[in-house]
Amino acid sequence: MSKRRTWSAASDLICVAAALLLSALTADAQEAQWSPLWDALTKRSDAKVVDGVNDKGKATRRIDLSSGVSFFLERDGDRIMSTGFDNSGRGAVQCSWEIYVGVRAYTEVCQPSEDQAFEADLDDAIARMNEFIVENSIVPVTKSELQDAIRQRKQHVGDVVRGQSDDDRRKLCEANPIRPMSIALRSASHDLRVSTLNTLLSVKRPPVKNPCL
pLDDT in tens, 51-107: 999 999 999 999 999 999 999 999 998 899 999 999 999 999 999 999 999 999 999
* 154-188 pLDDT, tens digit each: 999 999 999 999 999 999 999 999 999 999 999 99
- 213 versus 27: the higher-pLDDT residue is 213
- Residue where a domain terminates, one of 86, 104, 126: 86
Query: Is 115 found in the same domain as 163?
Result: yes
Triad 132, 136, 138: Cα angle to 5°: 140
SS3 content of the chain, % helix, strand, coil (to 5): 60, 15, 25
pTM to 2 decimal places: 0.81
Number of domains in the chain: 2
- Residue where a domain terminates, one of 86, 111, 129: 86
Query: Is 104 found in the same domain as 50?
Result: no
Query: Is 105 found in the same domain as 73?
Result: no
Average pLDDT over residues 128-143: 97
Q: Is 205 among the domain residues?
A: no
Strands 69-76 and 79-86: antiparallel
Query: Is 36 found in the same domain as 122?
Result: no
Average pLDDT over residues 105-124: 95
Share of the chain above pLDDT 90, in %: 80
Q: Has residue 18 got a pLDDT over 60?
A: no
> Smallest Cα–Cα separation from 90: which of 198, 200, 196?
200
Query: Is 193 found in the same domain as 121?
Result: yes
Q: Which phi and psi angles does 43 have, rounded to 5°?
A: -85, -5
Query: Is 103 found in the same domain as 70?
Result: no
Q: Is 208 among the domain residues?
A: no
Query: Is 9 found in the same domain as 30?
Result: yes
* Distance (Å, whole) CA 177 – CA 94: 18
Strand order, beta sheet including 47-53: 47-53, 59-65, 69-76, 79-86
Q: Provide the domain limits for residue 178.
A: 93-200
Query: Is 195 found in the same domain as 105?
Result: yes
Query: Is 184 found in the same domain as 119?
Result: yes
Q: pLDDT grade, residue 34 (50/70/90)?
A: confident
- Residue where a domain terminates, one of 56, 86, 116: 86
Query: Is 97 found in the same domain as 80?
Result: no
